[in-house]
Amino acid sequence: MKNMIVLKNFPSNIVEEAFVVLKENVKIHKVEMADKKGGKEKEKKQISKQNSIVKEAEMLITEYVDNLQKQEYKVKNENKKMMDKYKKMKKLTILLSIFSVLSTIVILLK
């Protein structure tokens, strides 16, 4: 079984909960505590390790969500550019068709 953490209650509209799978045999940097009272020190270190893991996971998730939003924005911009080009080409096509019909009529009348 792998080491997993479930992150819930994100302040996000996109992510409801996330499962973080930790790598095996990775040492987490120890955070030194000012209070050194036997058993409480170990509990505080354990809590600080968990907090550092959760903070790193949250950072990675927010970075991933930001990248998704940037990609979505790029797609919208590209679609807008394509629609602008489409409208210009449509106007040009209509104008050229009218010109060709008029030139055909002029040729037939001569």
Burial of residue 109, with CB atoms counted within 10 A of its CB: 0-12 exposed, 13-18 middle, 19 or more buried: exposed
pTM over 0.85: no
* Per-residue model confidence as pLDDT tens digits over 51-108: 776 777 777 777 877 777 788 888 888 888 899 999 999 999 999 999 999 999 999 9
HEC string for 51-85: HHHHHHHHHHHHHHHHHHHHHHHHHHHHHHHHHHH
Residue-wise over 39-63: b if at least 16 C-beta within 10 A, else e? Answer: eeeeebeeebeeeebeeebbeebee
| Beta-ladder partners of 39 | none
In whole angstroms, what is the distance from residue 83 CA to residue 89 CA? 10
* Per-residue model confidence as pLDDT tens digits over 9-51: 766 777 777 777 767 766 555 444 444 455 565 566 666 766 7
| Beta-ladder partners of 56 | none
Cα angle 14-20-25, degrees, rounded to a multiple of 5? 160
Q: Where are the domains of the chain?
A: 4-109
